[in-house]
Amino acid sequence: MHNQNVVEINLDTLANNVTNILTKYNDYDYYIGVVKGNAYGHGFGIVPTLVKNGVNYLAVATFEEALAVRSFDDKIPLLIMEPVGFDQVPLCVQNDFTITISNYDYFERLNETYQVSDLRLKIHLKLDTGLNRLGIDDREKLEKVYQKLMDREDFYLEGMFTHLATTGVNDALFDQQVEKFLLLTENIDLSTIPIIHLGRSATLETRPKIVFANGVRMGVIMYGITQTFRPYVGWKGKLRKIRDNYRKKKLRISDTFLASDLEVATAFTLKTPVMEINKVYAGESVGYGGTFVAKKDTYIAVCPIGYADGLHLGLRHSQVASDGRLYPIVGIINMCMITVSVDHEVKVGDFLTVLGDEISLKKVAHLTATTPYVGMTQVAKQIRRVYIESETNLDD
């Protein structure tokens, strides 16, 4: 019964999310759907839905992910955002993958060793503007790379981008990074580069479009996770508004949005079947360490899912759901099992929702001191993904 754990992905929900995003933020030419990390845990089976509904470019982290995505769409432009091995570069050309150059020395070696080809190698240059992770952060080196790219007919500079560390709602880093991007590219005509992308999910909701950017990377927003906007209500809200306005004026923070009417929903639901149900009497304990002691006679459902399947240990304080009813997880999270306090409504073979629907990803993220990213991506790949679309179920 262990392999009956399932992640249900509602493709209709994902389609609506993408449609709503593109309708609201309709001033970009390139909508880059980020599907790294096994499409944020959803599985690459969502690719056709994303493309059908307006995503016109995809981005992954690694060469291996790019190959997996290609099996679902052989035409969509595809950016690999981490450096690829030099032995993988010819395969990138063959599969029409775009590589990222984020390091001067890496480019120099590529330029020296890459053999001239009839097919052009598509490249995006990544600039480090303040995240201090990947990217070229020196203008002179950037200009050298740019010029050498222009000198080779088999290299095609398709894009240039950076990654913004914050939304800049209450800090100046967003503006500083945009300014550094412009400083680094001061001697480069950005209008000649087909794709410029700086924005990401968080900045879509909180910031006006960056004037010179014509692309945006959509990650977690496609999967139904949006920014949390705190309204200025009550006396604490008034004090916070005074403080925020002071910071914006002091730090010269550019315009931000303080609310969003974007409608998206999560499409990700993790379910586990009830394997056994045991009666536990008042005073008896459940699980390792006897951490749960029944205060009254109760029924304990045993489900075949645990931390080996990606459950966070903090979920011991969470609940599961069944037909609108919530039941607490009791005892500790085991490697391959959890125990749940249930009532007579729950039967062996019933499926309980661990994540999704009534057990929201944001709520679980708060409970486990993580993020919704973690909640979705940590669910093990071996758990079957089932795609639901207009009453049709599609197995991954």
Residues 285 and 195 in one domain: no
- Has residue 4 been placed in a domain? no
For range 150-163, the mean pLDDT:
95
Looking at residue 391, its pLDDT comes to 64
Mean pLDDT of the chain: 93
pLDDT at 2 over 60: no
- Has residue 20 been placed in a domain? yes
Residues 389 and 325 in one domain: yes
Look at phi and psi of residue 290 and say left if phi exceeds 0, alpha if psi is from -120 to 50, else beta.
left
Encode pLDDT of 188-225 as tens digits: 999 999 999 999 999 999 999 999 999 999 999 999 99
Looking at residue 320, its pLDDT comes to 95
pLDDT at 23 over 80: yes
The runs of H, that is alpha helices, within the chain are: 11-24, 36-40, 47-52, 63-70, 89-94, 104-113, 139-151, 173-184, 201-206, 234-251, 361-367, 372-377
Residues 239 and 360 in one domain: no
Q: Which of 66-80, 83-97, 110-124, 146-160 has the lowest mean pLDDT?
A: 110-124
Residues 200 and 225 in one domain: yes
- Has residue 70 been placed in a domain? yes
Residues 275 and 244 in one domain: no
Residues 37 and 138 in one domain: yes
- Has residue 19 been placed in a domain? yes
CATH number at residue 383: 2.40.37.10
Q: Among 185, 219, 251, identify where a domain stops.
A: 251
pLDDT at 247 over 70: yes
Which structural domain, as residue segments, surrounds residue 237? 11-251
Residues 102 and 188 in one domain: yes
Residues 137 and 203 in one domain: yes
Each residue of 36-52: b (16+ CB within 10 Å) or e? Answer: bbbbbbbbbbbbbbbbe
Looking at residue 234, its pLDDT comes to 84
For range 45-63, the mean pLDDT:
97
Q: How confident is the model at residue 392 (pLDDT cuts 50, 70, 90)?
A: low
Q: Among 217, 251, 285, identify where a domain stops.
A: 251
Residues 70 and 131 in one domain: yes
Q: 322 vs 2, 22, 126, 327, CA distance in Å?
A: 19, 34, 46, 8
Looking at residue 271, its pLDDT comes to 96
Q: Among 194, 217, 251, identify where a domain stops.
A: 251
* Length, in residues, of the chain: 396
299 Cβ contact list (under 8 Å, min separation 6): 277, 278, 279, 280, 341, 342, 343, 344, 346
Number of domains in the chain: 2
Q: How confident is the model at residue 56 (pLDDT cuts 50, 70, 90)?
A: very high
Residues 217 and 273 in one domain: no
- Has residue 5 been placed in a domain? no
pLDDT at 3 over 70: no
CA 369 to chain centre: 17
Residues 44 and 179 in one domain: yes
Higher per-residue pLDDT: 189 or 248: 189
- Has residue 363 been placed in a domain? yes
Residues 247 and 273 in one domain: no
Looking at residue 133, its pLDDT comes to 95
CATH number at residue 23: 3.20.20.10
Encode pLDDT of 299-353 as tens digits: 999 999 999 999 999 888 899 999 999 999 999 999 999 999 999 999 999 999 9
